[in-house]
Chain A
Amino acid sequence: MRPRLTTWIGVLALAAAAPWPVVQGFAFAQTGDVIADAEMPTLTGGTHHLFSNATANVFIFFRAGQEHSQATLREFAKLEKETRSNSVHWVAIFSDRCPTNDIAKDVAAAGITMPVLVDRGDALYGRLGVALCPVVGITDKDHKLLSYQPFTKVNYTDVVRARLRYALKEIDAAELERVLHPPAATTPSGDASAAHRRLKLAERLFQAKNYEKALENVKTSIEKDPTLAAAHVLLARVLFAQGKREEAKAALQRALELDPKDTQAADDLKALSAPQ
């Protein structure tokens, strides 16, 4: 899917607003670099390739007995299942400095099914310059490093999932950006929100034919947000129900000033203006 211009403008605006640096990559492999494949021994015997020609290659460096690594493997076991129908090649990598038995326990506890590769003599660790653990790299089918993601305590799986979906072209740059830098989770508040709620209450009171209380509440709604056209329409209905025809017409006129496309207001006003 080709992102629209507005999407790119949004992304650029977000990027410009962010004072935080972008995490670039491993010490010796930056995003954009092509990383050479390697055939490596596996935990269970035999060998397996670091990369394949899948659309996305995900490789995870982890350590034995490390809290963050264990948490990451547990979460990624689910992510691995989620992406089973996608063209994704997963591997987990550990240094041969880690006791194999401990690694096997962590792998079994996490429930990952991906091949677990042994980095003998820290050859890959040193070649890429891995400084942190756990850390995840994602490459494309040509083994170009698309993203590098060190562990974060908050939203790690969400971020890696989004980076992977972006690599698979399932989401666009704007959606990735929303996951990397989620908007503040605000709670509806303020006068506009209160006006809307009062209007809803006034509608219920009007339906219950409690015109006096409906009038009181729709007026409160208008006080909170005088530009809420729907509140003026309800005000007109309450006033009309109370026999105040002229005041009702004025309320409808105000509603139409605020929202000339409000067909209900227009119809009501037409009905009220017709000769009796």
Chain B
Amino acid sequence: MKTPIIVTIILSGSLSLFAADKPLAPLPAGTKAVSIHAPFEADPNDCKQCHEKSDPKEPGKVKKAINALCVECHDDFQKVMKRKHVHGAAEDKCTNCHNPHNASQPKLLTQELVALCVSCHDDQKTQMTKMKVVHGALTTGKKCVGCHNPHASDVKPILIQLAGDLCISCHATDTITDAGGKPLTNFKKLLDANSEQHAPVATKDCSACHKAHASQNFRLLAKEYPPQFYSTYATNLYALCYECHDPKLAADPETTTLTQFRNGSKNLHYVHVNKSERGRTCRACHEVHAAKQAHIIRDGVPYGSAGWILKVNYTKTPTGGSCAKTCHGEQVYARGPATKVQGKPATEKPPAEKANAPKTN
């Protein structure tokens, strides 16, 4: 099912349909063309390939509706435009973005790529100029079309691939750094080495936690998340996590339903996190992307200023688990009797142990 044009417009934020008319006449004589449309290059004085008349001074109307005319030669685009999500501008008229004669930009674009995109998607321009953190991909490489197919795609919002595949196509090296020069994670290496993955990672949905264009939060995070190991507990500081996880996870001291991390009914998430001072943030125990241990428990915790890492050595059991002496002495927790799915083939072992496939959290 194609996304109707109006839906695309709404999804695109404040999109002015379709902004101002772009200049479609040939470039003025003497202006260097970077790209030239083949029929115009073949004979600039024979306009009849596309227009009603040959005369360049008065070529008259084009012979057909613009897109119908374009696909007479560009017929491989017919298949492209049958994808589920179609760029409204492309569905409307190819000439919303392309000059059909010649252009001072590659691919016959009527303007520089980013300027062209933000001429409709002006909300993105605001983000790029006003937000604290801007994704480097917006201003380097292929820019907008590095991630979006400007014509159509099967992935919203006209992404070339699912976010996970797309992001990792760049973030698979050790050489990308943030604005401060700090190296960013090589995700290929990380995921190859760590089979336990956070659900948004396993579902290739990086955009569940990260804004793709710009954000007010570090690492382009969509919402607030404490950057430190310790933090005073407040629900709003964990807004990012609570977009999917239940805030009660760390709010109720006692529970038998909200978390598997409990000793009887004592909520151990509450014990660790919910403190007025030096509460352990999620990162104290969990990796955010992937880990070797169940529940994406991190391999070790930093200790002291010398960069030591103390191993956590988490052990999962059918009804709970244990951590080795690290932050505290060895601690064991047990939820109680093994949980079974009522009235059916028993899940005697926890799912992660039952299934050989990697578990997501």
| A residues at B contact (CB < 8 Å) | 19-25, 27-30, 33-36, 63, 66-68, 97, 121-123, 125-129, 131-133, 150-155, 158, 178-179, 181-188, 193, 196-198, 200-201, 204-205, 208, 210, 213, 216-217
Report yes or no: B199 in contact with A123, Cβ–Cβ below 8 A. Answer: no
Given contacts A19-B192, A154-B159, A185-B159, whether A24 and B260 have CB atoms under 8 Å apart is no
Residues of B within 8 A of A123 (CB): 257
B77, B154, B351, B361: which contacts A30 (Cβ < 8 A)?
A: B351
Closest to B188 in A: A19
Q: Which of B23-31, B118-126, B242-250, B321-329 contacts A (4 or more CB under 8 A)?
A: B242-250
Q: How far is the CA of A127 from the CA of B256 in the complex (A)?
A: 10
Q: Is the CB of B160 within 8 A of A193?
A: no
With the chains together, A115 CA to B200 CA distance in Å?
A: 28
Task: Give the number of A-B contacts (CB < 8 Å).
Answer: 181
Kindly list the 5 A-B residue pairs having the minimum CB-CB distance in the complex, ordered from nearest: A126-B257, A36-B343, A21-B358, A185-B153, A122-B257
Interface extent on B, as a size class? 35 or more
Provide the main secondary structure of the chain B interface.
loop
Q: Looking at chain A's contact residues, is the secondary structure mostly helix, strand, loop, or mixed?
A: loop
Are the C-beta atoms of A154 and B351 separated by less than 8 Å? no
| Contacts known (A19-B192, A23-B360, A154-B205); A128 close to B341, Cβ less than 8 A | yes
Contact of B244 among A24, A122, A132, A181 (CB under 8 A): A132
Residues of A within 8 A of B202 (CB): 20-23
Q: Report yes or no: B342 in contact with A127, Cβ–Cβ below 8 A.
A: yes
Q: Which residues of A contact B243 (CB under 8 A)?
A: 66-68
The 8 Å CB contact of B341, one of A29, A121, A187, A204, is: A29
| A21 B208 Cβ-Cβ under 8 A | no
Docked-complex contact A20 and B341, CB < 8 angstroms: no
B153 to chain A, nearest CB (A): 4
Shortest Cβ distance from residue A59 to the other chain B in the assembled complex, whole angstroms: 14
> Is A210's CB under 8 angstroms from B257's CB?
no
B42 with A22: CB separation less than 8 A: no
**Once the chains bind, are A132 and B199 in contact (CB under 8 Å)?**
yes
**15 A-B residue contacts at CB 8 Å?**
A21-B197, A24-B355, A28-B351, A34-B345, A68-B244, A122-B258, A152-B200, A152-B204, A152-B208, A154-B207, A155-B155, A182-B161, A185-B153, A205-B49, A213-B43
Which of B68-76, B133-141, B177-185 has 4 or more CB atoms under 8 Å from chain A? Answer: B68-76
A68 to B240, CA, bound (A): 12
Q: Are B164 and A20 in contact, CB atoms less than 8 angstroms apart?
A: yes
The answer to whether A28 touches B358 (Cβ under 8 A) is no
- B57 in the interface (beta carbon within 8 A): no
B162 close to A182 (CB less than 8 A)? yes
Measured in the bound complex, the distance between the Cα atoms of B42 and A181 in whole Å is 42
Interchain CA distance A205-B49 in the complex, whole Å: 8
**Contact mask B30-55 → A, CB, 8 Å, 1/0?**
00000000110011001011000000
Is the beta-carbon distance between B75 and A200 smaller than 8 angstroms? yes
Decide: A30 near B354, CB < 8 A? Known: A20-B191, A217-B38: yes
Provide the bound-state CA to CA distance between A182 and B350, in Å.
Answer: 31
Residues from 147 to 192 in B contacting A, C-beta threshold 8 Å: 149-156, 158-165, 191-192
B151 / chain A contacts, CB cutoff of 8 Å? 187
CA distance A130 to B150 in the complex (A): 38
Q: Is the CB of A24 within 8 A of B357?
A: yes
